[in-house]
C-alpha cells in the first residue's frame, strides 16, 4: 500500500483550517493536522458503505475519499469538514424550515433555526403564509404584526446563537410578490441596521413578470383568507424592487414558477424557499449537503484541455461520497431526518471555473467561455445522473420516487436532485481556487472570512505569468491596491489584461448568461453574483432581472460595486 498523499495546502488554507476546522481539545488547543482532518472525514463518510452490502471495500472507499480531498480536487461543504467523525456529526449546510400562520409554528421555527445554526447549517424560510400586518387575530381580537416584525425575531435569535462557535448563522427570507406586505419587505434592508443576518429575496411569479411586461395591475392576496385585498401596478412594485437592489444589493429575487417546474417531487408539495445563498431550493424540513469539484485540477497533463476521463472517474466517486453523507449526518430534528431521506437530495457542483478558463487562456467574458462552461457542466451533469442511477441499482431509488417527476421520465435515481452550483466561499480558499463559477473578483484581493480573518493574495497564475515576463511586481502591487480591475494598467501586456478579467469588467448580461449556462445543467440552482459597476443604473438592474427570468435562471443576486459598506468576497450574499 502506498503512503497517503500529504495535502498540499497554501498558508491561507492552513490558516482557515486552523481557525475553524481542525479538532481541538477541551482547552481549545488544536489536536489535528490537515491530513488528519481529511482522514477523519474520509473514514467517517466511508463507514456509511457498511449499510449497503456488498458495497465498496471500506478501506478502499476511505482511501479514495481521502485522496480526492487531500489533492484539493473535491471538497464537501464546510459542516462536513468540521463535523464528520466528531460528536456533532451534522454535515449539511442547507436547510429550509416551514413557517405557518400561527404563533406556535413561528416560534417552533425560531427554535429549530437555533438548533440548526448551532450545528453549523444555514436556514431558509418563506414568510409568505403569514397573515399581513393589521389583519385580524381571532384569539385576541387584536391586529396581526405581519411577516416583517416576525422576521426580526428570527434575525435577533441568530445574533444570539453563534453558529456552533464556527460561523455566524446565515438565513434566507422570502416573501411572495403577491403578499400584501411586499412593499415593506422590499424596503426593509435599505436600513443597514435591519435584518443583518438575512439575505432577502422576493418570490416572483411568471404572472407578475407578465404583468410588468404589459404594464398591468396584479392582485395582492391575503394568505389567511386567500382573498385579494388590493391591486397594484406591477411596474410600481418591480421598480421599487429594482431601486432597492440597485441601492443595496437587497433584496434579490427567486423565480418561484421556474423553481417549481423543476421540482422533482411535486407530490410532496411545492417549493417556497431556498437556503441562505439561494442555490438550493428545498421543501420545508428538507436539507441538502453540497460538494464541489475543483475543475482547475481537472486539466490534461499538457494543461491544454479539460480532462474528461479524469472527471468521469471523480464524478461517480463524489456522488457516492455525498450519498454516503446523507447516511452519516445526525440531523438536528427528526422531521428533517425524515424529509431529507425521502428525497435524498445532494448538490454536486464545481469551483475553480475562472482558474480553469485562465489556464486554458480563455477570457471569462467571451462566447468561448460560455461554450466551455456549457460543455463542462453538461458532462458533469450527465455523469452525475448516471452515477446516481448506478447507486439506485445498488441501494434503491429515493423513497419518494413513486409519483415523482423522475418516475414519469423513467429515470431510476438514488437522489431526487444531484447537481447544484454552490458559492464555495470557504472551501475554495481551502482548495486555493476561484470561487464557484465566479470570475476573479480582483487579481490582488483581501478576503474577509468568517468575520475576523483577513487574507491577502495575488492570483498564483498571474504571479507566474508576471514573473515569466519580468514585470515589476512591487510597483504593480501598489497600483493594483487601488482597483480590482487591471484593465487600465498599460504596463501589463495587453493579452494578460484581457485574460485576467475581473468581475467588474464583465457586463451584467454576460454574468447572467454564464449563470444561465450552468443553470441549464444543474438540477437545483446556481450561486452567482451579478456584479455591476458603480455607474450602473436601476435600468441595468431591471434588465438583469428580466434576462435572468427569460433565460430560465432560478433567482438572481445583484451587487453594485461600492453600494454596501461591508462585504465578503466570493460569497457576497452572506454578510
Residues marked as catalytic: 275, 277, 279
Residue ranges of the alpha helices (H) in 460-556?
460-468, 473-480, 494-499, 508-520, 538-550
| Contact flags string 393-422 toward ligand UDP, x per CB under 6 A | -----------------------------x
- 571 scored as a contact of ligand UDP (CB under 6 A): yes
- 426 scored as a contact of ligand UDP (CB under 6 A): yes
Nearer to ligand UDP, 121 or 173 (CB): 121
Minimum CB distance to ligand UDP, residue 524 (Å)? 11
Residue 339, classed as helix, strand or coil, is: helix
Q: In a 10 Å sphere around its CB, with 0-12 CB exposed, 13-18 middle and 19+ buried, how is residue 302 labelled?
A: exposed
- 291 scored as a contact of ligand UDP (CB under 6 A): no
- 94 scored as a contact of ligand UDP (CB under 6 A): yes
Range in contact with ligand UDP (rule: CB under 6 A) among 236-244, 262-270, 424-432, 472-480:
424-432
Please give the Cα distance from 322 to 76 (Å, whole number). Answer: 8
Dihedrals phi, psi of 25, to nearest 5 degrees: -85, -175
CA-based nearest residue to 244, from 292, 306, 312, 175: 175
Please give the Cα distance from 418 to 406 (Å, whole number). Answer: 12
Minimum CB distance to ligand UDP, residue 219 (Å)? 32
124 beta partners: 96, 172
- For residue 367, the tally of other CB atoms under 10 A from its CB is 10
The residues in 104-143 that bind ligand UDP, with binding defined as CB under 6 A, are 121-122
CB within 8 A of 449, min separation 6: which ones?
Answer: 16, 425, 426, 429, 455, 568
CB within 8 A of 507, min separation 6: which ones?
Answer: 365
Minimum CB distance to ligand UDP, residue 509 (Å)? 25
Please give the Cα distance from 127 to 143 (Å, whole number). Answer: 18
CA-based nearest residue to 347, from 149, 77, 79: 77
All 3 cell numbers of residue 414?
438514488
Among 22, 93, 372, 376, contact with ligand UDP (rule: CB under 6 A)? 93
Range in contact with ligand UDP (rule: CB under 6 A) among 189-197, 244-252, 371-379, 423-431:
423-431
Nearer to ligand UDP, 159 or 495 (CB): 159
Among 129, 167, 497, 513, contact with ligand UDP (rule: CB under 6 A)? 167
Residue ranges of the alpha helices (H) in 215-272?
234-248, 256-261
Please give the Cα distance from 411 to 405 (Å, whole number). Answer: 9
Nearer to ligand UDP, 38 or 208 (CB): 38
Residue 105, classed as helix, strand or coil, is: helix
Among 84, 350, 357, 427, contact with ligand UDP (rule: CB under 6 A)? 427
Minimum CB distance to ligand UDP, residue 122 (Å)? 2
CA-based nearest residue to 343, from 294, 405, 300: 405
The residues in 42-61 that bind ligand UDP, with binding defined as CB under 6 A, are none
169 beta partners: none
Length of the chain: 575
Minimum CB distance to ligand UDP, residue 554 (Å)? 13
Among 73, 78, 258, 531, contact with ligand UDP (rule: CB under 6 A)? 78
- Say if CB 280 and CB 94 are below 8 A apart: yes
Minimum CB distance to ligand UDP, residue 15 (Å)? 15
Q: Which residue is nearest to ligand UDP (CB)?
A: 122
The residues in 232-251 that bind ligand UDP, with binding defined as CB under 6 A, are none
The residues in 249-288 that bind ligand UDP, with binding defined as CB under 6 A, are 275-277, 279
Among 170, 220, 336, 392, contact with ligand UDP (rule: CB under 6 A)? 170
Nearer to ligand UDP, 63 or 72 (CB): 72
Among 77, 126, 318, 340, contact with ligand UDP (rule: CB under 6 A)? 77
Q: How far apart are the first and last CA of the chain?
A: 45
In the complex, the residues that contact ligand UDP under the rule CB under 6 A are 77-78, 93-94, 121-122, 167, 170, 275-277, 279, 290, 422-427, 571, 574
Amino acid at each position: 500500500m502506498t503512503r497517503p498523499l500529504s495535502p498540499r495546502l497554501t498558508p491561507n488554507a492552513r490558516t482557515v483550517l486552523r481557525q475553524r476546522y481542525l479538532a481541538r481539545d477541551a482547552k481549545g488547543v488544536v489536536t489535528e493536522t490537515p491530513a488528519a482532518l481529511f482522514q477523519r472525514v474520509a473514514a467517517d463518510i466511508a463507514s456509511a458503505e457498511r449499510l449497503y452490502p456488498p458495497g465498496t471495500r471500506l478501506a478502499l472507499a476511505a482511501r479514495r475519499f481521502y485522496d480526492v480531498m487531500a489533492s484539493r480536487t473535491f471538497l464537501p461543504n464546510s459542516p462536513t469538514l468540521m463535523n464528520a467523525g466528531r460528536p456533532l456529526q451534522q454535515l449539511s449546510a442547507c436547510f429550509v424550515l416551514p413557517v405557518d400562520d400561527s404563533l406556535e409554528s413561528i416560534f417552533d421555527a425560531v427554535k429549530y433555526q437555533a438548533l440548526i445554526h448551532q450545528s453549523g447549517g444555514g436556514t431558509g424560510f418563506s414568510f409568505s403564509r403569514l397573515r399581513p400586518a393589521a389583519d385580524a387575530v381571532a384569539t385576541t381580537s387584536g391586529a396581526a404584526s405581519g411577516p416583517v416584525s416576525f422576521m426580526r425575531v428570527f434575525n435577533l435569535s441568530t445574533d444570539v446563537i453563534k453558529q456552533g462557535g464556527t460561523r455566524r448563522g446565515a438565513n434566507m427570507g422570502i416573501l411572495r410578490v403577491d403578499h400584501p406586505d411586499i412593499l415593506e419587505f422590499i424596503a426593509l434592508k435599505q436600513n443597514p441596521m435591519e435584518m443583518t443576518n438575512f439575505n432577502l429575496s422576493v418570490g416572483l411569479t411568471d404572472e407578475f413578470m407578465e404583468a410588468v411586461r404589459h404594464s398591468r395591475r396584479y392582485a395582492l392576496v391575503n394568505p389567511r383568507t386567500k382573498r385579494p385585498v388590493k391591486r397594484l401596478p406591477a411596474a410600481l412594485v418591480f421598480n421599487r424592487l429594482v431601486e432597492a437592489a440597485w441601492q443595496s444589493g437587497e433584496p434579490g429575487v427567486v423565480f418561484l414558477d421556474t423553481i417549481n417546474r423543476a421540482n422533482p417531487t411535486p407530490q410532496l408539495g411545492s417549493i417556497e424557499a431556498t437556503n441562505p445563498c439561494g442555490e438550493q431550493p428545498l421543501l420545508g424540513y428538507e436539507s441538502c449537503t453540497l460538494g464541489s469539484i475543483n475543475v482547475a485540477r481537472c486539466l490534461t497533463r499538457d494543461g491544454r484541455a479539460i480532462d474528461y476521463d479524469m472527471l468521469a472517474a471523480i464524478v461517480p466517486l463524489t456522488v457516492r461520497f455525498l450519498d454516503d453523507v446523507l447516511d452519516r449526518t445526525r440531523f438536528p430534528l427528526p422531521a428533517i431526518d425524515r424529509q431529507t431521506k425521502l428525497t435524498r437530495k445532494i448538490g454536486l457542483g464545481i469551483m475553480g471555473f475562472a482558474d480553469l478558463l485562465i489556464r486554458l487562456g480563455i477570457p471569462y467574458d467571451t462566447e468561448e467561455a460560455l461554450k466551455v462552461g456549457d460543455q463542462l457542466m453538461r458532462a458533469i451533469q450527465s455523469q452525475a445522473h448516471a452515477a446516481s442511477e448506478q447507486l439506485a441499482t445498488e441501494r434503491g431509488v429515493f423513497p419518494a420516487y413513486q409519483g415523482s417527476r423522475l418516475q414519469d421520465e423513467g429515470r431510476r435515481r438514488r437522489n431526487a436532485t444531484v447537481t447544484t452550483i454552490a458559492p464555495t466561499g470557504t472551501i475554495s480558499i481551502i482548495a486555493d481556487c476561484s470561487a464557484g463559477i465566479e470570475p476573479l473578483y480582483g487579481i490582488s484581493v483581501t478576503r474577509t472570512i468568517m468575520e475576523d480573518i483577513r487574507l491577502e493574495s495575488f492570483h498564483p497564475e498571474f504571479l507566474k505569468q508576471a514573473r515569466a515576463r519580468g514585470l515589476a511586481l512591487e510597483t504593480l502591487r501598489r497600483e493594483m491596491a487601488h482597483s480590482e480591475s487591471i484593465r487600465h494598467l498599460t504596463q501589463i501586456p495587453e493579452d494578460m489584461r484581457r485574460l485576467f478579467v475581473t468581475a467588474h469588467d464583465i457586463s451584467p448580461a454576460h454574468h447572467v448568461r454564464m449563470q444561465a449556462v450552468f443553470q441549464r445543467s444543474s438540477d437545483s440552482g446556481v450561486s452567482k453574483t451579478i456584479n455591476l459597476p458603480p455607474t450602473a443604473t436601476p435600468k441595468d438592474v431591471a434588465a438583469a432581472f428580466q434576462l435572468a427570468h427569460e433565460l430560465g435562471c432560478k433567482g438572481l443576486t445583484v451587487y453594485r460595486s461600492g453600494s454596501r459598506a461591508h462585504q465578503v468576497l466570493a460569497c457576497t450574499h452572506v454578510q
